[in-house]
Structure 1
Amino acid sequence: MNWNQIDTVLLDMDGTLLDLHFDYHFWMESVPEAYAHQNHLSIEQAKEQIHQQIHSQTGTLNWYCLDYWSETLNLNIAELKREFKDQIKVHPEVIDFLAALRQHGKTVVMVTNAHRDSLAIKLEMTEIGQYFDHLISAHDFGIPKEDIRIWSEIQHVQPYDPERTLLIDDNLHALQTAREYGIAFPLCATHVSPKLDKIDPQGFAHFEKYSEIMPR
């Protein structure tokens, strides 16, 4: 990677900077357990119902929206998430990578589909927030990163030159819309968690460890 060609780095959070196992376990196990208890269901019944509802919202902002799921499931999702916040973990080498970006004078911007409440919990439990020039949630615009319009909306908050911008994300649909918008360097983070399968980059440039792309 030629860092001389890059001024701005857009970074996803969950799976890219943080171990995705926290979110996976939360939605696949913790939420169904709470739902089962509240509605007098078996765990398997709760899992089936919730997994179907989650699947129906794939690719939409609702999929990421704690308010939507709190209302839909009649659970306080943000409060439930706080109960498990000690399980939030940063990927190895991430802090070194973020520090190197700052040392090399890059503009560093988080662009996450995560709800603001979820973002706040994760910033509270990690040290990543201090390394960013701007923290952007897709909920600020009402559209997810799967929607190409978000990349021009971001320009109103944090102007950037797409031809000199790197986007690092584990979301292939987000990488695709960014590439269509004109972001020159879409890069797939394939190692989302030691406990989950690696992402198939499907032709996108990719990496597993941040040491592979560390600015020198």
Structure 2
Amino acid sequence: MIDWERIQTVLLDMDGTLLDLHYDTYFWLTHLPARYAETRGVEPEQASREIHETIQSLKGSLEWYCLDFWSNRLGMNVSQLKHEVGDRIRFRADAPAFLRALKASHCRTVIVTNAHRGGLDLKRERTGLDQWVDAIHTTHSFGRPKEDPAFWPALHASEPFDPATTVLIDDNHTALSAAETFGVRHLLSIHQPDSQRDPLPEGRWPALERFETLLPITPPQPV
């Protein structure tokens, strides 16, 4: 799926790509509505409806991913609530082995995530994923999500990479499309970001089921 001899930089999404999206799905659709219902004294169905409507209205925006926004909107400390179910945070199958292989390779490995800093820090604490990569960038530092085409030149200014020798692996098809517009040549999606939900509909890019299919990572041949 990838000619590693031609790759210099690997950009990796976090949630749904390296980490099982089940944690986030459970938090936003089950845990948060339940805690909101308890705090506000409303029926669980009403709490779920209010949160779902807000999620749908903001989908794809930076606010959608912003824990500070959600805390203000709901009148709750959402960052703290995410810790309550932190035991559900885990890697997708064989992601650690892939990260170890990248660490030992010739590639620069960079996580590019829409996660808010509070959520990112929690996942770093739980998984130690930061030890396997060269850098982590959250889109909140740039003021635009990955779905916004203007994000990619901003990232490039901070994290120089050659789009022609860069691969992006991401479960977000809109983000992949924006990166493609910028010129990132090698793009892979994820077949099943959430281990407890159905696979994603087929997109325009090859869908990765297991990272082991990308191994071994072959270094460039000496000139």
Paired with 2:71 and 2:88, the residues of 1 have a C-alpha distance of 21
Partner Cα separation in structure 2 for residue 173 and residue 70 of structure 1: 26
Amino acid at match of 2:106: G
The answer on whether the counterparts of 1:191 and 1:209 sit within 8 Å (CA) in structure 2 is: no
The question of whether the paired residues in 2 share the 8 Å contact of 1:104 and 1:215 is answered with no
The answer to whether 1:32 aligns with 2:33 is yes
| Cα deviations by residue, 1:21-80 (Å, 9 ceiling, x for unpaired) | 100010001111111111111101100111001110011011100000000001100000
SS state at 1:105 partner:
coil
Q: Secondary structure at the match of 1:38?
A: helix
Q: Is the 8 A contact 2:103 2:109 kept in 1?
A: yes
For residues 5 and 152 of structure 2, what CA distance do their matches in structure 1 show? Answer: 22
Q: After alignment, is 201-210 or 105-114 more displaced?
A: 201-210
| SS in structure 1 of the partner of residue 196 of structure 2 | coil
- In the alignment, residue 53 of structure 1 is paired with which amino acid? T
**Contact 2:21 2:195 (8 Å CA) reproduced:** no
Q: Find the aligned partners of 1:116 and 1:215 in 2 and give their Cα distance.
A: 32
Contact 1:16 1:170 (8 Å CA) reproduced: yes
Contact 2:149 2:179 in 1 (8 A): yes
Report the Cα offset of residue 127 of structure 1.
2.5
1:167–1:183 CA contact under 8 A, matched in 2: yes
**Match in the other structure for 2:103:** 102
Whole-angstrom distance in 2 between the partners of 1:92 and 1:49? 34
Q: Deviations over 1:82-102 (max 9, x none)?
A: 111111011111111011112
Q: In structure 2, the residue corresponding to 1:95 is in which secondary structure?
A: helix
Q: How does 1:186-201 map to 2 (within 5 A)?
A: 186-201=187-202
In structure 2, the residue matched to 1:55 is: 56
Counterpart position of 1:182:
183
**2: CA distance between counterparts of 1:184 and 1:16?**
19
Question: Contact 1:101–1:215 at 8 Å: present in 2 too?
Answer: no
The Cα shift of 1:136 comes to 0.2
Matched residue, 1:169: 170
Per the alignment, residue 210 of structure 1 pairs with 211
Q: Distance in 2 between matches of 1:193 and 1:52?
A: 21
Cα distance in 1 for residues equivalent to 2:207 and 2:193? 12
Instruction: Give the superposition deviation at 1:112.
Output: 0.3
- Of residues 196-205 and 64-73 in structure 1, the stretch that sits farther from structure 2 once superposed is 196-205
Kindly state the Cα deviation for residue 103 of structure 1 after the two structures are TM-superposed. 1.3
1:124-172 deviations in Å (ceiling 9; x for gaps):
0002110111100000001000001111111222110000000000000
Aligned residues: 216
Asked if the contact 2:110/2:134 (under 8 Å) is kept, the reply is yes
Q: Counterpart of 1:151 in 2: which secondary structure?
A: helix
- Give yes or no for the alignment of 1:150 onto 2:156: no
Task: Find the counterpart in structure 2 of residue 74 from structure 1.
Answer: 75
> Which has the larger displacement, 149-158 or 17-26?
149-158
Q: Show the counterpart of 1:129.
A: 130
Measure the CA separation in 2 of the matches of 1:77 and 1:154: 27
TM-score where L is the length of structure 2: 0.94
* Unaligned ranges ≥5, structure 2: 218-223
Deviation at 1:201, TM superposition (A): 3.5
Structure 1 match to 2:221? none
TM-score for both structures, normalised by structure 1 = 0.97
